[in-house]
Structure 1
Amino acid sequence: MPLTLAFVSTIRAERSGLVDHLSDPDGLTAWIHRHAADLDIDPGFTATEELRAETVRLRQAVRALFARAVAPAPPSRADAAELPDFEESLALVNARALAAPRVPQLSWNGEPALVTVPAVPVEPSARLLGALATAAVEFLAGPERAALRTCQAPRCVLYYLKEHPRQEWCSTSCGNRARAARHYREHKK
């Protein structure tokens, strides 16, 4: 799963309702540890409340860009009414990507390999936000954006990549839930 899709999926619908995995610094820290290699962050990094608030602000901006990217289809039901303005979101994502730019470099450990590294030394918090913003920019400007969809299954709020022409939901369980809901509606009458 692309990093930016994992990032926007930190808001999920579970049986108990809507869950935000970035609702506190511990949740953000746990998420960062799971994605430390992609983010070029030390696995021992600990998030602060200030960073959590900035990360959530960036996530909402990326979700606003995702909502625009899937249009005219409806955006995720998780936060469609609470998304920031498109222009404001675009400016924030671009500013974050510029604040901690990453550049391609050649690594040569036996064989040449492309690695992406910070262009200038920055503190870990700025590097984290820059990596997340850059991942969003690369995803939204890349070919995968055309496959971006909103899952329309009952209670689901995720974005997903459509991998098959007949795929309508983000997962098998969402497909089963949608079919069961449709069956119930048709036979309730």
Structure 2
Amino acid sequence: MERQLALELVSTVRHDGDGGVADDLTTVEETTRWIQERAGLLSVTTAAGDEFVADEELRDRIVALRQAVRALFALAVSPAPPSRADADRLLPADQALDRLNSAAAGEPVAPQLVWPRGEAPATRLRSTEGDPRVRIVAALARAAVDFLAGPQRELLRACTAPRCVRYFVKGHGRQEWCKPACGNRARVARHYQRTHSGADTEPGRS
């Protein structure tokens, strides 16, 4: 299955396991690690033996792009509620679109036809951009454009399990949560609510 870079970018905002929200791109070091884990997908090239290292400017640009993509994800799942992580501070849709499209246009690319012997022809994007920071942001933006313009947008959901703030792509007709652990937590919460609601109405209970 093809890696979903747009979903991975959005998921750098996540539940911290302790009732709050964590950000995997809080520091330059965390951002560097996140990029290095996706170096092939982001066309990060380095000198032999060296790994790409982010800087504060790149971190800021990726976080700003993430903010735009999360706002557009919220628009995509509407009228269902968006992720609780930033539901009260979403960018306006037109501003999010402008930011996403500007980032995608930052890297000049041209489609190239690739046709290996004995295989089907395919297209690849060829870039003349030398700055890896520009390539990284543009690649993330293009991934978001492809996702939001593609069929998986209709399957996008915000997980409604208690404390979860993730978006996910619905894999089958009955899927309600992003992962089994969230489903278990939601069922426990429902059971607790039913049990205590019933207890409140029992005769003799105050």
What TM bracket, shorter-length normalisation?
over 0.9
**C-alpha separation in 2, matches of 1:96 and 1:35:** 18
Candidates 5, 8, 11, aligned match of 2:7: 5
Query: What residue number does 1:19 align with?
Result: 22
**C-alpha separation in 1, matches of 2:126 and 2:62:** 18
**C-alpha separation in 2, matches of 1:103 and 1:158:** 34
Q: TM-score, normalised by structure 2?
A: 0.86
**C-alpha separation in 1, matches of 2:27 and 2:100:** 22
Query: What residue number does 1:152 align with?
Result: 160
**Structure 1 residue 68 and structure 2 residue 53: aligned?**
no
Query: What residue number does 1:175 align with?
Result: 183
Q: Report the AA paired with residue 99 of structure 2.
A: L
Q: How many residues align?
A: 189
**C-alpha separation in 2, matches of 1:145 and 1:103:** 26
Shift of 1:170: 0.4
Output one character per residue of 1:84-124: Cα deviation in whole Å (capped at 9) or x when no partner.
22111100100111111444323455555635334332411
Structure 1 stretch 13-22 or stretch 123-132: which is displaced more? Answer: 13-22
Larger radius of gyration: 2
Superposed CA RMSD: 1.6
Output one character per residue of 1:8-63: Cα deviation in whole Å (capped at 9) or x when no partner.
00000022321100001111111101111111113711110111111101000000
**C-alpha separation in 1, matches of 2:88 and 2:62:** 19
Q: Percent identity?
A: 48
Query: What residue number does 1:32 align with?
Result: 35
CA contact 1:100–1:122 (8 Å) conserved in 2 = no
**C-alpha separation in 2, matches of 1:136 and 1:175:** 27
Query: What residue number does 1:98 align with?
Result: 105
Unaligned ranges ≥5, structure 1: none
Moved over 6 A (4+): none
CA contact 1:33–1:45 (8 Å) conserved in 2 = yes
CA contact 2:81–2:158 (8 Å) conserved in 1 = yes
Output one character per residue of 1:126-164: Cα deviation in whole Å (capped at 9) or x when no partner.
111100100000110011111101100000000000011
Q: TM-score, normalised by structure 1?
A: 0.93
**C-alpha separation in 2, matches of 1:186 and 1:87:** 42
Which SS does the other structure have where 2:154 is aligned? helix
**C-alpha separation in 1, matches of 2:126 and 2:103:** 13
CA contact 2:108–2:129 (8 Å) conserved in 1 = no
**C-alpha separation in 1, matches of 2:123 and 2:29:** 29
